[in-house]
Structure 1
Amino acid sequence: MAELDRTKLLAARFKAAGDRPYLASALYSLTVVPSEAVPTMGVDRHWRCYVSPSFVEATPVPELAGVWIHEVAHLLRDHHGRADRLPAADRRDRVRVNIAQDCEINDDLLDDGLPLPEGRVEPGLFGMDKGLLFEAYLPGVPPQPHLHDCGSGAHGDPLPWEINGPGGPPKVSQVEAEALRRATAEAMRAHQRSRGTLPGGWLRWADQVLEPAVDWRRVLAGAVREAVAWAGGAVDYTYRRPSRRTAAMRGVVLPSLRRPLPRVAIVIDTSGSMGPDDLAAALAEVTGVLREVGVGANRVTVLAVDADVRAASRVTSVDQVVLAGGGGTDMRVGIEAAMAAKERPNVVIVLTDGYTPWPAEPATARLIAALVGDDPPAPPAWVESVRVTPGG
Structure 2
Amino acid sequence: MARTKLLAARLRAAGDRPYLAAALYALHVVESVAVPTMGVDRFWRCYVNPAFVDATPVPELAGVWIHEVSHLLRDHHGRAGRLPATVRDDHVRVNLAQDCEINDDLVADGIALPAGHVSPRTFGLADGGLFEEYLPRVPASARPHRCGSGAYGGREPWDLPAGGVGVGATEAQTLRRQAAEAMRAHQRGRGTLPAGWQRWSSQILEPTVDWRQILAGTVRSAVAWASGAVDYTYRRPSRRSTAQRGVVLPGLRRPMPGVAVVVDTSGSMSGADLAAAMAEIAGVLRQVGIGGNRVAVLACDAAVATTQRIARVEDLTLTGGGGTDMRAGITAAAALPLAPDVIIVLTDGDTPWPAEPPPARLIAALVGHRAAPPPSWATVVQVGP
Q: TM-score, normalised by structure 2?
A: 0.63
Amino acid at match of 2:166: K
Q: Residue 68 of structure 1 aligns with which residue?
A: 65
1:176 aligns with 2:171: yes
- The CA deviation at 1:224 is 2.1
Indicate the SS of the match to 2:46: strand
Aligned counterpart in structure 1 of residue 185 of structure 2, from 182, 185, 190: 190
Whole-angstrom distance in 1 between the partners of 2:103 and 2:54: 23
Q: Residue 194 of structure 2 aligns with which residue?
A: 199
Indicate the SS of the match to 2:69: helix
**CA contact under 8 A between 2:108 and 2:194: conserved in structure 1?**
yes
Q: Residue 44 of structure 1 aligns with which residue?
A: 41
**CA contact under 8 A between 1:263 and 1:344: conserved in structure 2?**
no
**CA contact under 8 A between 1:43 and 1:49: conserved in structure 2?**
yes
**CA contact under 8 A between 1:216 and 1:387: conserved in structure 2?**
no
1:127-169 deviation per Cα after TM superposition (whole angstroms, max 9, x unaligned): 10001000000011001365230011100111001112444xx
Aligned counterpart in structure 1 of residue 381 of structure 2, from 372, 378, 388: 388
**CA contact under 8 A between 1:264 and 1:347: conserved in structure 2?**
no
Q: 1:294 to 1:161 in 2, by over 3 A?
A: same
* Corresponding pairs, count: 281
Indicate the SS of the match to 1:42: strand
1:97 aligns with 2:154: no
- The correspondence of residues 172-321 of structure 1 with structure 2, limited to 5 A, is 172-214=167-209, 216=211, 220=215, 221=277, 223-227=280-284, 234=292, 262-263=295-296, 293-294=316-317, 316=328
Indicate the SS of the match to 2:71: helix
**CA contact under 8 A between 1:16 and 1:69: conserved in structure 2?**
yes
Amino acid at match of 1:225: A
**CA contact under 8 A between 2:31 and 2:49: conserved in structure 1?**
yes
**CA contact under 8 A between 1:264 and 1:346: conserved in structure 2?**
no
- The CA deviation at 1:45 is 0.5
Aligned counterpart in structure 1 of residue 82 of structure 2, from 80, 85, 95: 85
Whole-angstrom distance in 1 between the partners of 2:137 and 2:319: 30
Q: 1:166 to 1:206 in 2, by over 3 A?
A: closer
Q: 1:136 to 1:371 in 2, by over 3 A?
A: closer
Whole-angstrom distance in 2 between the partners of 1:371 and 1:131: 27
Q: TM-score, normalised by structure 1?
A: 0.62
- The CA deviation at 1:226 is 2.0
Aligned counterpart in structure 2 of residue 111 of structure 1, from 108, 112, 115: 108
User: More displaced, 141-150 or 119-128?
Assistant: 141-150
**What do you get for the CA RMSD once the two structures are aligned?**
4.0
Amino acid at match of 2:3: R
Whole-angstrom distance in 2 between the partners of 1:218 and 1:293: 24
Q: 1:65 to 1:196 in 2, by over 3 A?
A: same
1:149 aligns with 2:172: no
- The CA deviation at 1:225 is 2.8
Q: 1:193 to 1:33 in 2, by over 3 A?
A: same
Amino acid at match of 1:142: P
Whole-angstrom distance in 2 between the partners of 1:26 and 1:227: 32
Q: 1:316 to 1:177 in 2, by over 3 A?
A: same
**CA contact under 8 A between 2:63 and 2:112: conserved in structure 1?**
yes
Amino acid at match of 2:96: I
Indicate the SS of the match to 1:149: coil
Indicate the SS of the match to 2:189: helix
- The CA deviation at 1:32 is 0.2
Q: 1:217 to 1:177 in 2, by over 3 A?
A: closer
- The CA deviation at 1:200 is 1.2
Whole-angstrom distance in 1 between the partners of 2:204 and 2:9: 27
Whole-angstrom distance in 2 between the partners of 1:158 and 1:346: 40
Q: 1:217 to 1:112 in 2, by over 3 A?
A: same
Amino acid at match of 1:201: G
Q: 1:47 to 1:212 in 2, by over 3 A?
A: same
Q: 1:223 to 1:116 in 2, by over 3 A?
A: closer
Amino acid at match of 2:52: F
Amino acid at match of 1:388: V
